[in-house]
Amino acid sequence: MWRLLIFSALVAVSWAQGTGGIFAGRLAESDPRLGITAVRIFALEKKIDVLKEKLKYAEDHDPQQFIHELETRVTHEEGTGCTDRHFQCGGHDRECISDLLVCDGHKDCANEHDEDDDICSTDPVKAGNVFVGSTTWTSCLTREDRVTRIAITSTKRVKFFTARVRVNALIEADHTEGADHHTETDAYPAHGYYNFGTRRLILFPDAGDFAHIGVVCEFNKGDDERAECKLGLKASKHECAHALLHLKDH
Amino acid sequence: MKILIVLAILAVFVAVTSASGCDKLQRLKVKSQWARAYSEGHDREDFSQAIWRAIFAQVPDARALFKRVGGDDTNSGDFVAHSLRVLAGLDIVISLLDQPEALQAELSHLQKQHDSRHIPDNYFAAFRLALGHVLPAQLGRCWDKKAWSDCFEVIAHGVQGH
């Protein structure tokens, strides 16, 4: 009923404006029912626009991802029952295997979980990935909280030992300098590796202020995009700083 | 005759300088890093498993040499025993790196055990490469690539006899 009202209103408006508008002119000339259909199509277009907006919003809320994250966090708190550097096969088996044997092409878990595609995904350390986040220093260096970026520059996975991915990266750290407190960025080339079994990316800057500091990033948030990183002294593993880094959108 | 002597001296000189890559400090470094990597218990089995998989992935033909010790399946009891024996030998050699005379005795003992099997040089190279990748993976940090490569040379030369 209200559509009819709108239509009559439109017709009335178009008549009031004379025969100037194309839309109004056509409406006036054609079958009123076609006019109504046009209005309906117009209303549908509006609805689709609203739906498109909703889709954008819905992308931010992925229930499956959320549940997976929660699961990972709970597992992290509970512990896996495996010692450090060991991989929990998962499922009902609760079997621990050495991280030297995870994703090496041989099935070592009874449930073969150590060669699963999602475990052995190299997505976290694809060359070109840039991880960004704010670093909080608690010791070692006197620095304010500033942005740190880790850009993966190249990777190499040797065919005969696939349990690790060798990674070259550029670590960029912002810091405040001078009387005007402007931001400067230091860049340190670093090398290291990614460990599938522990989901850890470990990087050692080659020189500069960070030469004795190692960066350990654990992808422990249930996805390949967020990593909890710790910067620590290479020799003693004494923690210097921590950061939560996330993959920068391309 | 004189030329021969000069050549012989030169050969000895080359041998000494090439071997001297593994100096005393490097030997100590390798010893301590090995102690960490060699580990114990089940970790040791996994460490040797990873090394042997990496060797056979490079030179699959080498499996034929290990038929007697279950080389077809690196997880078999026989092969696990064998691989632990090999690492134990390597452990003795590395532990003796700072005692030249005992090291020499152990190396010639191992050479005798390997001589009759006619092992191609590239199998030793595969062993070295496998160690070169599994060791840093096992140690995580604080490993000296140069020291290892220099000192492995000494060990491999000793076992190969050339």
Pairing of strands A86-88, A213-218: unpaired
pLDDT at B118: 87
Q: Is the pLDDT of residue A119 over 50?
A: yes
Q: What is the number of residues in chain B? A: 162
**Whole-number percent of chain A with pLDDT over 90:** 61
pLDDT at B8: 58
Give the span between the Cα atoms of B46 and B52, in whole angstroms. 10
Residue A100 to residue B140, Cβ atoms within 8 A: no
A204: nearest CA partner in chain B: B141
Q: How far is A245 from chain B (nearest CA, A)?
A: 22
Please, what are the domains in chain A?
Answer: 84-120 (4.10.400.10), 121-249 (2.40.128.620)
Cβ contact B85:B66 at 8 Å: no
The one-letter code for the residue type at A97 is I
User: B23-160 maps to which CATH number?
Assistant: 1.10.490.10
Q: What is the overall mean pLDDT for chain B? A: 89
Residue A100 to residue B47, Cβ atoms within 8 A: yes
pLDDT at A210: 85
A159: nearest CA partner in chain B: B57
Residue B130 to residue A160, Cβ atoms within 8 A: yes
The pLDDT of A150-155, averaged and rounded, is: 96
Q: Is the pLDDT of residue B25 over 90?
A: yes
pLDDT at B126: 95
Residue B50 to residue A235, Cβ atoms within 8 A: no
Please state the pTM of the whole predicted model. Answer: 0.81
Domain boundaries, chain B: 23-160
Give the span between the Cα atoms of A37 and A31, in whole angstroms. 10
The pLDDT of B139-150, averaged and rounded, is: 92
Q: Is the pLDDT of residue B17 over 50?
A: no
pLDDT at B21: 87
pLDDT at A86: 93
Read off the pLDDT of residues B99-129 as tens digits, 9 standing for 90 and up. Answer: 999 999 999 999 999 998 889 999 999 999 9
Where is the binding site for heme b, in residues of B?
114
Contacts of A87 in chain B (CB under 8 A): none
- b/e map of A76-101 (b: 16 or more CB within 10 Å)? eeeeeebeebbbbbbeeeebbbbbbb
Where is the binding site, in residues of B?
114
CB contact A84 to B (< 8 Å):
no
pLDDT at B1: 55
More confident residue, A104 or B14: A104
Q: Which of B36, B44, B53, B122 to mutate to test the interface with A (most CBs of A within 10 A)?
A: B53
| Three-class DSSP labels, A134-191 | EEEECCCCCCCCEEEEEEEEEEECCCCCCCEEEEEEEEEEEEEECCCCEEEEEEEEEE
Residue A235 to residue B53, Cβ atoms within 8 A: no
CB contact A205 to B (< 8 Å):
no
pLDDT at A3: 58
The pLDDT of B36-60, averaged and rounded, is: 94
Residue A98 to residue B43, Cβ atoms within 8 A: yes
The pLDDT of A57-78, averaged and rounded, is: 89
Contacts of B137 in chain A (CB under 8 A): 100, 161, 163-164, 193, 195
Q: How confident is the model at residue B20 (pLDDT cuts 50, 70, 90)?
A: low
Read off the pLDDT of residues A172-192 as tens digits, 9 standing for 90 and up. Answer: 988 888 888 888 888 999 999
Q: Is the pLDDT of residue A226 over 50?
A: yes
With a CB cutoff of 8 Å and minimum separation 6, the contacts of A108 are: A97, A101, A102, A114
Lowest mean per-residue pLDDT among A6-15, A191-200, A201-210, B103-112: A6-15
Residue A98 to residue B58, Cβ atoms within 8 A: no
ipTM, two decimals = 0.83
Residue B137 to residue A160, Cβ atoms within 8 A: no
B44: nearest CA partner in chain A: A98
Q: At CB < 8 Å, which residues of chain B contact A?
A: 42-43, 46-47, 49-50, 53-55, 57-58, 129-130, 133-134, 136-138, 140-142
pLDDT at A176: 82
Question: Which among B54, B134, B142 is the nearest to A235, CB-wise?
Answer: B142
Q: Is the pLDDT of residue A2 over 90?
A: no
Q: What is the overall mean pLDDT for chain A? A: 87
pLDDT at A18: 47
Structure tokens at B6: 């000069």
Helical (H) or strand (E) element with A231: strand A226-233
Q: Which long-range contacts (CB under 8 A, 24 or more apart) does A34-42 make?
A: A35/A7, A35/A10, A35/A11, A36/A3, A36/A4, A36/A7, A39/A3, A39/A6, A39/A7, A39/A10, A40/A3
The pLDDT of A143-165, averaged and rounded, is: 94
More confident residue, B101 or B1: B101
More confident residue, B4 or A144: A144
pLDDT at A62: 86
Q: How far is B114 from chain A (nearest CA, A)?
A: 24
Question: Which among B50, B55, B142 is the nearest to A101, CB-wise?
Answer: B50
Q: Is the pLDDT of residue A94 over 90?
A: no
pLDDT at A60: 84
Read off the pLDDT of residues A16-67 as tens digits, 9 standing for 90 and up. Answer: 554 444 555 555 566 889 999 999 999 999 999 999 999 998 888 889 888 9
Q: What is the number of residues in chain A? A: 250
pLDDT at A8: 59
* CA-CA-CA-CA torsion sign (B98, B99, B101, B103): negative
With a CB cutoff of 8 Å and minimum separation 6, the contacts of A1 are: none
**Whole-number percent of chain B with pLDDT over 90:** 78
pLDDT at A208: 82
CB contact A15 to B (< 8 Å):
no
Residue B137 to residue A193, Cβ atoms within 8 A: yes
Contacts of A98 in chain B (CB under 8 A): 42-43, 46-47, 49-50
The pLDDT of B60-80, averaged and rounded, is: 93
